[in-house]
Amino acid sequence: MKKIVTLGEIMLRLSVESGERIFQTDQLTMHYGGAEANVALCVK
């Protein structure tokens, strides 16, 4: 049975419409991402 180990981080970006500020809006758009430092390792 193989095991998978992962290291890294999940990032969540909250954005507003162009030209607005965060305190002026009722709606935020979410974008999920990650860092270039994410690593996955398959162990036998």
- pTM comes to 0.46
Calculate mean pLDDT across residues 8-19: 86
Cβ–Cβ under 8 Å, residues 7 and 43: no
- Please indicate whether residue 12 or residue 36 has the higher confidence score (pLDDT): 12
Domain limits for position 26: 3-43
Number of folded domains that form the chain: 1
Chain mean pLDDT for the chain = 84
- What is the predicted pLDDT for the residue at 22? 87
pLDDT at residue 28 is higher than 80: yes
Which pLDDT value is given to residue 35? 67
8 A C-beta contact, residue 14 and residue 30? yes
Q: What is the pLDDT of residue 39?
A: 82
